[in-house]
Amino acid sequence: MKKQFLIALMMICVSTAGCIEQAELENLLDTDLDLCAGDLPVIRESNGTLRIITYDIYALSEEVVQEFTNQTGIEVEFIRTEDAGGILDQMMLTKNAPQADLMIGLDNTYSGVAMDNCLLQENTVSRQNITEDLGDNVFGETNELVPFDHGHICINYDSTYVDGENVTVPTSLWDFTEEAWKGKVAFPSAVSSSPGRAFMLATTDYFENETEWDWWAQMIANDAIITSGWTEAYEVHYSAGYGQWYDGFIGDAHATVSYCHSPGVEAFFGENYTTSVALDLPKASLHQIEYAGIINGAANVDYANQFIGFLLSEDVNTNMPANNYMYSVLSDTDLPEENGYRYHSPVPEQPADVDLDQVDIEALVEIYAQIIA
Amino acid sequence: MIRQTLQALVCLAFAVVILGPVFLALERLTRVTDSTIFDAWSLWKNANQTDGVLSFTLLVAFTTASFTCMIGFWVASTLAKYEIKHVSLIRAFFVLPFVTPAIVAAVGFLAIIDSDSILSRLGIDLYTQSGFIGKLGEVVGAENLGNFIALILALSWFNISLVIRLIEPMIARLDKDWEDQFNILPKGDSALFKLRYFYLPLYGPGIFVAWSLTFIFSFTSFALPKWLSPQNNTIETLVSIYSSSAGIEGYRVWSSELVLSATIIQFLVLGIAMSLSTILQSKHNSRIELVNENYSRKQRGKLTPLRKIGLSISFIYVISPLLAVLSNSFRSIERTGSETVKTWSFDGWRIAWRGDLSYAGIPEAMTNSVTYAIVCMVIALVVGTTIAATIKQLEDAGKQILARTVDFVSFLPLIVSAITVGLGILIGLLNLFPELLNWRFLPVWAHIMMVCPFVVRIMLPSFRSLDQLYSDQARVLGMTDAEVFWKIKIPLLKPQIIVSAALSMAFSLGEFGASWMLSGIGNWVTLSTLTDQLMSRPNYFPEVRSSAMAVATCLMLMTLILFIISEKFRDENGRGGF
């Protein structure tokens, strides 16, 4: 009786809400609003504070933000999501009622969706100090996206496991499907992690859009460890990462997907000690660029422009390698040589060449999700 | 008439305001996915990430409920039957876990099973699942057996108090003469007959109520599976992963399909469990003839040595996670090159207080938590008490079906789980009223939803046991209805009101699932989400874990104080409820 009542109640409420609020819902939630074509976006209400949506980006430390406030008098507050995907989800969810002025952290694998959905607006930030090939917007002629850091994503392996005798250095991604790597490779999921997504895209080029899904299927059959985020894959499972020194370490994977300069970060903070090595296979890495952009409907556009300018200032951006463990986007900068940071950070000779503007990444993610299920 | 109208309005407002967001979310999900709630099963079967999730969730809930009832029954019968010094204090420790925030339990158990913990050193490696546990897993063919055991232990720890609360008073007040009389009957010879014809009819309904409630709470648990079983998703953790992209038209529609189907399936499973629990609850209440507890205990005497050992082990099991949280808040790790050293320090506390590794420090999170808890307590108390009073009046008026309907609806928030409540606010409510995103008290909405059912459960038995004679006599003496309410009923209900208030605050302080869902879209940091936030940060910052433990300790101490207050005012005869 109660169950019947429950179902009936639910049906009534769902259908009633559908009837009564239909017009309002259509108005508020219709995602076909063509903001890019010239309709004015809804401007969010503001209390005069610059609101930034971002994820756990180390560069945005309290000291850095305080320095910005000291310089400009502009107060800043943050909405923090779990990862880059969370930024996009939140922006999509509130696209008709934006909650922030500035987005920091969408990378080139997510930005296409933001651009397609008109979530960002043009900015007035000068790009003259940005390394030439990073400054171009791969998603069109406009300048909604401003890069603030970058790095290459590739497989890292534990050199104590790959000793050259029992296990040799892989020369092909197919090598990871062999017995020696059974249950010993950890991948952050392309569904929920930006490094995972970037590596999945790299494999489409590596396997020339033909056998990438076979390879992924074989990796799953070879007991590859799939984690929801980079932190769990690298810190908990990867045997040569910094996780080995702390609580919560398992260390059952001798290879994982991370940045090609992750071994350099290990060395930098480990007094030039690391057993982690980046695997530089042709077309098995992807150049990831992280962007900042002003949200369509931002209340404090001028403040947002100033913050992006601050993020690109020499004082802040040249410290990216030490503060954010990523490359600076400014011209004539590189990783520091201190403690072997640069030495252990190879730059891939032939990264994957994926036309991110043309690829339907979400469709690829869906196929990927079916395979790893 | 006015009072009845007001009561009806409060009940209606509860149904609309509290449950409305969930229905709006369902409406949105069905529209985005172009399906109906009746497509839930096919959507679930077709989804990519759902393989084994339902069976794992059912297995976890079933195993937890069964294991908890076994352990809980043994502890309850020990506490109930024998003369034990400071039994009230010992019992208080056993029922403490239920008000302990789930995130505190999660980090406590993580500390217990960690690779350098005492348990690991004893060869029971539940975390990396090596050694004996790994081999056992291979033998029984169970992947991640260690994580599964840790999860069951943690969930049982969390729910053991529920079993003790429901069963112990029943056993304590059972007249031993009944057992003796049954023993001399022909069927008293056989243990099987004794179970079939004596213990099962007496204790069965109570145990099954405890079993079904434990099943429900385990089925909807979020913090514990999230942290202790990261390799296997439950429905709740699965929804949490994909909910951030759910409800958005034209974007990752498969995530909306997954969330919709998961929500409906969870709703149905829990609805069935809840219905069974409600039906048996009435039988549970009226089965046993009561005698004085102390009289009953004296008849059986002191604990046997075996019982003493068992009770001591159970006691260690109950307090270990709490001690682990406290002690680990003072553990610091120093790394130089390839060496790490663990030391004792206040660094974790200092960093957590200042918020150096998080978006907020302890003071800000504590202010938010306490503010939410106070607002939640006031509203939940008014709404919950009104609903309980309404149910009682409907019962008195002979409208049993309506009374049960209101009773059932008041319990619905627990059936839809904290994550679904958060989801309801996120994609149901906020899409219609986006300006609410800037409303400081938005998380309170979710807290009230989760807390109200407990207030109703605590207040309803009190209303039922309130002697009508007092009110009648007061009216004869010339008091108005309002005076009867304020001068007669309120003083009589004072202990239960204080218990409700203290527990409402404790549950609000520890609420995690809904708060976690909302933390991704606004600055609503509470102590429980701050603990999770710190635990989620890379361990590259050596003080991350000790800081998380420091925040968890604050949360634990605050709920402990509220628990002590509630226990102080708890009526001995009212021990059989929450």
Secondary structure of residue B341 in the 3-state scheme = strand
Closest CA to B217 of B144, B277, B127, B136: B277
CA distance to B59, B61, B134, per residue, from B140 (Å): 15, 20, 10
Between CA A106 and CA A104 the distance in angstroms is 6
Q: Are B348 and B534 in contact (CB under 8 A)?
A: no
Token pair of B460 as six digits? 């309803």
Q: Are A194 and A265 in contact (CB under 8 A)?
A: no
Secondary structure of residue B340 in the 3-state scheme = strand
Chain A partners within 8 Å of B432 (Cβ): 21, 24-25, 28
How many structural domains comprise chain A?
A: 2
H helices of B82-175, where?
A: 87-95, 102-113, 118-121, 131-140, 145-172
In a domain, A32, yes or no: no
Of B246-255, B269-278, B325-334, B519-528, the range with the lowest mean pLDDT is: B519-528
The DSSP output letter for B286 is T
Chain B partners within 8 Å of A89 (Cβ): 244-245, 248
Residues A170 and A83 both lie in one domain: no
Chain B partners within 8 Å of A339 (Cβ): none
Residue in B114, B272, B401 nearest the CB of A248: B114
Chain A partners within 8 Å of B434 (Cβ): 28, 94, 96-97, 99
Token pair of B89 as six digits? 């204090």
Domain range spanning residue B296?
52-235+292-328
Question: How much is the average pLDDT of B119-139?
Answer: 87
In a domain, B509, yes or no: no
What is the per-residue pLDDT across A303-320, written as a single tens digit (0 to 9) for each?
999 999 999 999 999 999
Q: Are B432 and A21 in contact (CB under 8 A)?
A: yes
What is the per-residue pLDDT across A59-82, written as a single tens digit (0 to 9) for each?
788 888 999 999 999 999 888 888
Contact A248 B340 (CB under 8 A): no
Q: Are A202 and A285 in contact (CB under 8 A)?
A: yes
In a domain, B115, yes or no: yes
Residue B556 has a pLDDT of 94
Q: Does A367 touch chain B (CB under 8 A)?
A: no
Closest CA to A103 of A233, A294, A368, A330: A294
Q: Are B413 and B455 in contact (CB under 8 A)?
A: no
Q: Does residue B257 come out as left (phi exceeding 0), alpha (psi in the -120 to 50 range) or beta?
A: alpha
Closest CA to A155 of A244, A254, A275, A266: A254
- Name the residue in chain B with its Cα closest to that of A240: B338
Contact B245 A5 (CB under 8 A): no
In a domain, B73, yes or no: yes
Chain B partners within 8 Å of A243 (Cβ): 539
- Name the residue in chain A with its Cα closest to that of B129: A250
Chain B partners within 8 Å of A1 (Cβ): 401
Question: How much is the average pLDDT of A132-155?
Answer: 82
Residue in A80, A90, A231 nearest the CB of B538: A231
Residue A223 has a pLDDT of 94
Of A44-48, B88-92, B567-571, the range with the lowest mean pLDDT is: B567-571
Residue B398 has a pLDDT of 86
Q: Does A113 touch chain B (CB under 8 A)?
A: yes
Between CA B127 and CA A215 the distance in angstroms is 30
Chain A partners within 8 Å of B258 (Cβ): none
Q: Give the best residue of A61, A83, A93 to mutate against chain B (max B CB count within 10 A).
A: A93
Burial label, B224 (beta-carbon count in 10 A; 0-12, 13-18, 19+) = buried
Contact A62 B356 (CB under 8 A): yes
In a domain, B201, yes or no: yes
Token pair of A57 as six digits? 């980006």
Residues A132 and A56 both lie in one domain: yes
pLDDT tier for residue A34 given thresholds of 50, 70 and 90: very low
Residues A162 and A267 both lie in one domain: yes
In a domain, A69, yes or no: yes
Closest CA to B459 of B390, B521, B555: B390
pLDDT tier for residue A165 given thresholds of 50, 70 and 90: confident
In a domain, A83, yes or no: yes
Pairing of strands A146-158, A102-107: unpaired
Q: Give the best residue of A19, A51, A113, A246 to mutate against chain B (max B CB count within 10 A).
A: A246
Between CA B525 and CA B520 the distance in angstroms is 10
Q: Does A28 touch chain B (CB under 8 A)?
A: yes
Chain B partners within 8 Å of A250 (Cβ): 127-128
Residue in A90, A250, A369 nearest the CB of B521: A90
Q: Which long-range contacts (CB under 8 A, 24 or more apart) does B110-116 make?
A: B110/A248, B110/B227, B110/B228, B110/B535, B111/B321, B111/B324, B111/B325, B111/B327, B111/B328, B111/B549, B112/B320, B112/B321, B112/B324, B113/B146, B113/B150, B113/B228, B114/A247, B114/A248, B115/A247, B115/A248, B115/A249, B116/A247, B116/B342
Interface of A with B in 208-237 (CB under 8 A): 227-228, 231-232, 235
Residues A186 and A277 both lie in one domain: yes
Between CA B369 and CA A365 the distance in angstroms is 38
Residue in A90, A251, A273 nearest the CB of B337: A273
Pairing of strands A286-295, A146-158: antiparallel
Chain B partners within 8 Å of A273 (Cβ): 337-338
Whole-number mean pLDDT of chain B? 86
Between CA B578 and CA B457 the distance in angstroms is 7
How distant is the Cα of B251 from the closest Cα of chain A, in angstroms?
8
Closest CA to B379 of B508, B486, B496: B508
Residues A77 and A197 both lie in one domain: no
Query: What does residue A297 show for φ and ψ, rounded to 5 degrees?
Result: 100, 10
What is the per-residue pLDDT across A206-256, written as a single tens digit (0 to 9) for each?
999 889 999 999 999 999 999 988 989 999 999 999 888 888 888 999 999
Query: Exposure pattern of B503-531 as b/e (b: 16+ CB <10 Å)?
Result: bbbbbbbbbbbbbbbbbbbbbbbbbbbbb
Q: What is the sign of the dihedral through the CA atoms of B355, B360, B366 and B369?
A: negative
Residues A271 and A324 both lie in one domain: no
Between CA B529 and CA B517 the distance in angstroms is 10
Token pair of B50 as six digits? 């759902």
How distant is the Cα of A349 from the closest Cα of chain B, in angstroms?
29
Q: What is the sign of the dihedral through the CA atoms of B82, B88, B89 and B94?
A: positive
Amino acid at B425: I
What is the per-residue pLDDT across B29-54, written as a single tens digit (0 to 9) for each?
999 999 999 999 999 998 878 889 99
What is the per-residue pLDDT across B162-221, written as a single tens digit (0 to 9) for each?
889 888 887 877 777 777 787 788 777 787 887 888 888 888 888 888 899 899 999 999
Contact A10 B356 (CB under 8 A): no
Question: How much is the average pLDDT of A284-301?
Answer: 94
What is the per-residue pLDDT across A6-22, written as a single tens digit (0 to 9) for each?
344 444 444 444 333 44
CA distance to B16, B132, B133, B134, B433, per residue, from B139 (Å): 52, 10, 10, 9, 55
pLDDT at residue B87 tops 90: no
As a dihedral over the C-alpha atoms of residue B183, residue B189, residue B190, residue B195, rounded to 10 degrees, the angle is -10
Q: Which long-range contacts (CB under 8 A, 24 or more apart) does B469-478 make?
A: none
Residue A13 has a pLDDT of 41
Closest CA to B72 of B318, B249, B281: B318
CA distance to A87, A208, B140, B214, per residue, from B153 (Å): 36, 49, 19, 13
Residues A348 and A362 both lie in one domain: yes
In a domain, A199, yes or no: yes
In a domain, B128, yes or no: yes
H helices of A150-281, where?
A: 194-206, 212-221, 230-231, 262-269
The DSSP output letter for A253 is B
Residue A123 has a pLDDT of 92
pLDDT at residue B575 tops 60: no
How many structural domains comprise chain B?
A: 1
Residue in B337, B431, B432 nearest the CB of A270: B337
Contact A85 B128 (CB under 8 A): no
In a domain, A23, yes or no: no
Residues A140 and A163 both lie in one domain: no
pLDDT at residue B462 tops 70: yes
In a domain, B102, yes or no: yes
pLDDT at residue A139 tops 80: no
In a domain, B45, yes or no: no
What is the per-residue pLDDT across A322-370, written as a single tens digit (0 to 9) for each?
888 999 999 988 999 999 999 999 999 999 999 888 899 989 998 998 8
Closest CA to A104 of A296, A265, A307: A307
Cα B268 to chain centroid distance, Å, stands at: 19
Q: Are B480 and B537 in contact (CB under 8 A)?
A: no
Residue in A99, A113, A232 nearest the CB of B521: A99
Token pair of B424 as six digits? 């309801």
How distant is the Cα of A191 from the closest Cα of chain B, in angstroms?
9
Count other C-beta atoms under 10 Å from residue A139's C-beta. 19
Q: Give the position of tokens 């034209």.
A: B250
Here the CATH number for the domain that contains residue B171 is 1.10.3720.10
pLDDT at residue B283 tops 70: no
Question: How much is the average pLDDT of B151-161?
Answer: 94
Q: Are A199 and A153 in contact (CB under 8 A)?
A: yes
Closest CA to B425 of B28, B12, B37: B28
Write a three-state SS string for A234-250: HHHHECCCHHHHCCCCC
Interface of A with B in 86-105 (CB under 8 A): 86, 89-90, 92-94, 96-97, 99
What is the per-residue pLDDT across B136-153, written as a single tens digit (0 to 9) for each?
988 988 888 999 999 999
pLDDT at residue B491 tops 70: yes
Residues A164 and A182 both lie in one domain: yes
Contact B435 A99 (CB under 8 A): no
pLDDT tier for residue A180 given thresholds of 50, 70 and 90: very high
Residues A205 and A133 both lie in one domain: no
Residue A19 has a pLDDT of 39
Amino acid at A9: L
Closest CA to B75 of B171, B191, B149, B211: B171
Pairing of strands A276-278, A76-80: unpaired
Q: Give the best residue of B245, B253, B335, B524 to mutate against chain A (max A CB count within 10 A).
A: B245
Residues A227 and A181 both lie in one domain: yes
Residue A20 has a pLDDT of 38
In a domain, A273, yes or no: yes
How distant is the Cα of A9 from the closest Cα of chain B, in angstroms?
10
Domain range spanning residue A249?
151-287+340-372
Of A270-279, B112-121, B348-357, the range with the lowest mean pLDDT is: B112-121
Residue B289 has a pLDDT of 55
How distant is the Cα of B570 from the closest Cα of chain A, in angstroms?
31
In a domain, A31, yes or no: no
In a domain, A34, yes or no: no
Residues A307 and A351 both lie in one domain: no
Q: Are B425 and B445 in contact (CB under 8 A)?
A: yes
Between CA A60 and CA A57 the distance in angstroms is 6
Secondary structure of residue A357 in the 3-state scheme = coil
Q: Are B555 and B509 in contact (CB under 8 A)?
A: yes
Between CA B387 and CA B453 the distance in angstroms is 10
Q: Are B550 and B94 in contact (CB under 8 A)?
A: no
First vs last C-alpha separation in chain A: 38
pLDDT at residue B531 tops 80: yes
pLDDT at residue A158 tops 60: yes
Q: Give the position of tokens 């069905």.
A: B30
- Name the residue in chain B with its Cα closest to that of A368: B48
Do you know the residue count of chain B? Answer: 578
In a domain, B322, yes or no: yes
